[in-house]
């Protein structure tokens, strides 16, 4: 998401942020980590309108970790009754007890209050948070972002829906590790800027109130001008339903090598790797491309091509796509030209294996070893 879109998102949020008991009036103020933890845990699988009263009652009875840690399980369950998923309440109590016990261990984390007394506190690193009972990637991200104002990505159902529509992603993050990584990359992009905490919260609110599951209110959405699904009038297609069928994809991967043994890497504009450098690739007919494909001329001058050779074929799965790819090796008769944009890079052949992280590229490069 570019800076302009993020600015629109922040402006929208400042005007439209609902008053919630766990949200201070000053949207820039860091939150109480304990309140973020409790509210975000209650909000898992439960509507905001239901959680509101539960949260108020809870915070009156258990205003901090110490008070909570002294409570019995029966009492905690009474305050949770009606929210369901009681394992969440049990884990909250377990974590509170653990934090209080850690507080008295001089080797472990705690905070001093105004009088200098040690106080139980939620840790401020993802690793420590995720080691606590019941705190997963999402809750840890919310605590780090909203309470500690760290540039931490979060990904919940609201953000998944928004990203799927915004970038026309026809797969879900639950489908594979690659699929999850694509969603997390978009989530990280959102927090790669000042006010990251506000972007996360604004997207959650947008998903809840505007980019809803049914009938998204695109007319009033601050992301409309950059939303693929809205611009193409296809909001009902995203996110796809869980029962998604595998799709066949036939394509060509280009391994372009200069005379001084550098391989071309490209960034952006690629179907499967939008946020990283990759080998150029494009959809092509089922049989191998003959000669220099027009897509290659996007990156290199046809006059500088010494040879074009089909060096192999491999299969690969990414998200819902079952891919069959031809590898076209293009040798240039001159040195690697100076890149004309930041989207292009020439990588020394000897370093290519380390540079290209995806197994998709590594499979294509393996044929190069045999040439």
Q: How far is CA 34 from the centre of its chain?
A: 24
Beta-strand ranges (E) seen in 196-332 are: 247-257, 262-267, 277-278, 281-283, 305-318, 321-332
SS3 188: helix
Q: CA-to-CA distance for 84 and 77, rounded, in angstroms?
A: 10
Q: Where are the alpha helices (DSSP H) in 210-351?
A: 228-231
Q: Which is nearer to ligand SF4, 68 or 223 (CB)?
A: 223
Q: Which is nearer to ligand SF4, 219 or 290 (CB)?
A: 219
Q: Which is nearer to ligand SF4, 144 or 227 (CB)?
A: 227
Burial class (CB in 10 A: 0-12, 13-18, 19+), 177: exposed
* β-strands 247-257, 281-283 pairing: antiparallel
Q: Give the tokens for residue 58.
A: 């809870």
Annotated active-site residue in 40, 201, 205, 257: 40
251 φ, ψ (degrees, to nearest 5) = -155, 180
183: nearest Cα among 201, 159, 206, 209 = 159
**Shortest distance in whole angstroms from residue 232 CB to ligand SF4:** 10
Contacts with ligand SF4 by CB under 6 A lie at 162, 165-166, 210-211, 216-218, 221, 223-224, 227, 229-230, 235
Catalytic, 237? Answer no
> What are the Cα distances from residue 64, in Å, to 24, 40, 100, 223?
17, 15, 11, 38
Q: Which is nearer to ligand SF4, 187 or 364 (CB)?
A: 187
Q: Which is nearer to ligand SF4, 165 or 316 (CB)?
A: 165
| Bridge partners, 331 (sequence order) | 257, 307
Phi-psi region of 291 (alpha: psi -120 to 50; beta: other; left: phi over 0): left
Q: Give the tokens for residue 46.
A: 């439960």
33: nearest Cα among 148, 136, 179 = 148
Count of Cβ atoms closer than 10 Å to residue 159 Cβ: 24
Q: Which is nearer to ligand SF4, 201 or 257 (CB)?
A: 201
Task: Enumerate the active-site residues.
Answer: 40
């Amino acid at each position: 998401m570019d800076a302009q879109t993020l600015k629109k998102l922040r402006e929208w949020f400042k005007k439209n942020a609902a008053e919630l008991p766990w949200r201070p009036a000053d949207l820039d103020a860091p939150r109480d980590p304990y309140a973020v933890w409790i509210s975000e845990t209650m909000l898992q699988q439960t509507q905001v309108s239901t959680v509101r009263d539960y949260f108020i009652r809870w915070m009156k009875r258990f205003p901090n970790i110490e008070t909570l840690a002294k409570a019995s399980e029966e009492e905690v369950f009474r305050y949770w009754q009606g929210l369901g998923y009681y394992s969440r309440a049990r884990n909250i109590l377990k974590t509170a007890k653990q934090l209080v016990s850690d507080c008295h261990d001089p080797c472990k984390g705690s905070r001093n209050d105004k009088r200098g007394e040690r106080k139980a506190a939620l840790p401020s690193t993802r690793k420590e948070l995720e080691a606590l009972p019941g705190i997963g990637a999402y809750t840890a991200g919310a605590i780090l972002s909203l309470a500690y104002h760290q540039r931490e990505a979060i990904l919940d159902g609201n953000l998944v829906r928004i990203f799927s529509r915004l970038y026309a992603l026809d797969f879900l993050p639950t489908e594979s590790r690659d699929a999850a990584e694509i969603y997390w990359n978009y989530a990280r992009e959102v927090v790669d800027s000042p006010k990251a905490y506000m972007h996360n919260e604004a997207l959650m609110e947008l998903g809840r109130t505007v980019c809803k599951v049914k009938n998204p209110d695109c007319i009033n959405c601050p992301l409309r001008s950059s939303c693929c699904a809205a611009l193409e009038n296809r909001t009902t297609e995203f996110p796809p339903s869980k029962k998604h069928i595998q799709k066949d994809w036939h394509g060509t991967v280009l391994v372009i090598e200069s005379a001084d043994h550098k391989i071309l890497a490209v960034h952006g504009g690629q179907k499967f790797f939008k946020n990283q450098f990759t080998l150029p690739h494009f959809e092509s007919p089922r049989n191998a491309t003959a000669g220099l494909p027009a897509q290659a001329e996007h990156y290199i001058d046809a006059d500088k091509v010494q040879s074009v050779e089909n060096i192999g074929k491999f299969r690969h799965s990414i998200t819902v796509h079952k891919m069959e790819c031809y590898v076209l090796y293009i040798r240039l008769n001159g040195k690697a030209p100076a890149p004309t944009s930041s989207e292009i890079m020439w990588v020394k052949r000897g370093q290519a294996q380390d540079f290209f992280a995806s197994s998709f590229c590594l499979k294509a490069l393996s044929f190069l070893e045999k040439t």
